[in-house]
Amino acid sequence: MMRDLYDHMKTRYRLGDLTEQRANLAFVDVAQDELRALLVELRDVHGFTHLVLLTAVDWIEEGRFQLTYMVNNRTANLTLGLRVYLDRKSPVGNTIHDLWPTAATYQRELREMFGISFPGSPRVDEEFILEGWTDMPPYRRDFDTLAYSQQTYAERGGRETHDPRDHMQKKLYPEGRP
């Protein structure tokens, strides 16, 4: 079923190879300028009415971000992930909040955590999770969490930790094992 859909869509859009994870889950690369038209067709013609998620991956070595739009056809029990690549230096994605209103929330998160812009998306430039954040977006792979923590928070002593097995043996058998 997924292969048939892919073969049909390949005649209309510039698609990369289909990667089938299982019979009802597949991924395909899509040209950014064709994403919206493909999403509309998948939703309105092929029954992919549910936006499961919108997420990003920072491919720092390649100088790009990967956006993955996962859509689901509940009737046919099919999930398709559409992957779009953005230039890491000035990442701008296309908003789809008008197709799926829940996308606005995903887009706000991706703006704040990765620095990916979605012009026209509602409230995309408002603080969302990181109130008062002024540093580099923290999900970028070149964000140094250790350095940030050392600069931001005072050093304090840690807790004593125990190996669970040894700890429980001492608690259960304080005199040693019988």
Percent share of the chain, pLDDT over 70: 99
Distance CA 2, CA 79 (A): 9
Domains, the chain, ranges and CATH? 2-153 (3.30.460.80)
Segment 1-42, tens digit of pLDDT: 899 999 999 999 999 999 999 999 999 999 999 999 999 999
Q: Say how many residues make up the chain.
A: 178
The secondary element (H helix, E strand) that includes residue 165 is helix 164-172
* Mean pLDDT, rounded, for 112-132: 94
Structure pTM? 0.84
Average pLDDT value for the chain: 94
Helix (H, G, I), strand (E, B) or coil at 107: helix
Question: Is pLDDT above 90 for 169?
Answer: no
Helix (H, G, I), strand (E, B) or coil at 146: helix
Kindly report the number of other CB atoms within 10 A of residue 118's CB atom.
24
